[in-house]
Amino acid sequence: MKAETILTAELEYESQSLLGEGPVWDARARRLIWVDIEGFAVHLYDPVARDHGAINVGQFVGSLAVRKSGGLVLALKSGFATLDPETGEITPIADAESHLPDNRFNDGKCDPAGRFWAGTLALDEDNGAGKGNLYCLGADHRVELKIPGVWISNGLAWTEDERTMYYIDSPAQKVVAYDYDKASGEIANPRTVITVPASEMGYPDGMTIDEEGMLWIAHWDGGHVCRWNPRTGEEMAEIKVPVSRPTSCVFGGEDFGTLYITSARTRLSAEKLAAEPLAGSVFKCRPGVRGLPMREFAG
């Protein structure tokens, strides 16, 4: 069933990010932070002042989260680390995949207890089936393997009641729900709640959740972000984006009512890039529903 509501995103910040990803709304600093995975950069942007800065971290950076104690936690090619945005100093925490040099980290997010979950994929993505994994970094800096044998570890979200986790392995074309225990961080009882038709909609990539418990998913090669109901599996709304590769989204702004959308230009043909001059930029939309504040890393 097609979405009843069709919206259009507008440009927020023009960028040439190769693989813009993992947007985070830093509520304390009132700024949007995202990564350019293949550009080795962390971007920091104040949408009110229109002030932008970038920090080169010297390697693939898959995702990040705000630290409660200050600064950021990153999922780098070399593993988990912290970043001081003021000085650019990076401090390693743990390398979960030192034995897998042909993998890198991808999407990540903090759970309701302040643990940082992030997954990996093979650098040779086309032949990466089963080579990725989902990990959880605790506040004590211990790393746990949560879901082994994935292909392209992507979107994460937790329900407001803190009892369900949603997860995307992009080539599987579905969102899987898990029972989630906040105290232990354990997940159980996986079941498919959304199935995305590949030929029509592209691959499900990054996602976020709104105050009504609906999931907003960026569709790689689909040119849109869609709102899905995980209770019924139905598509509810569509935001058209003027690029083919939106990658992820996050609610932000003073009222958490603005949906910011990252995008990519990597591996697009010259013809495609000419038709999509804004590929790699950040877009925004006011969809009429609010999101939830993002959790910070407790470690």
Positions marked active-site: 205
| Burial track 124-163 (b if 16+ CB lie within 10 A, e otherwise) | ebeebeebbbbbbbbeeeebeebbeebbbbbbbbbbeeee
Cβ–Cβ under 8 Å, residues 294 and 280: no
Q: Which stretches within the chain are classed as H helix? A: 198-201, 270-275
Residues 103, 93: contact at Cβ < 8 Å? no
Three-state DSSP at 46 gives strand
Give the DSSP letter string of 75-124.
Answer: EETTEEEEE-TTT--EEEEE-TTTT-TTEEEEEEEE-TTS-EEEEEEESS
* Cβ contact 216:208 at 8 Å: yes
Beta strand 61-66 with 72-76 is antiparallel
Retrieve residue 226's tokens: 């869609």
In sequence order, the β-bridge partners of residue 152 are 121
Instruction: Give the torsion sign (CA, 79, 84, 85, 89).
Output: negative
Phi, psi of 68 (to 5 degrees): -60, -35
SS3 171: helix
143-150 vs 79-83, strand pairing mode: unpaired
Dist CA 236 CA 98 (whole Å) = 42
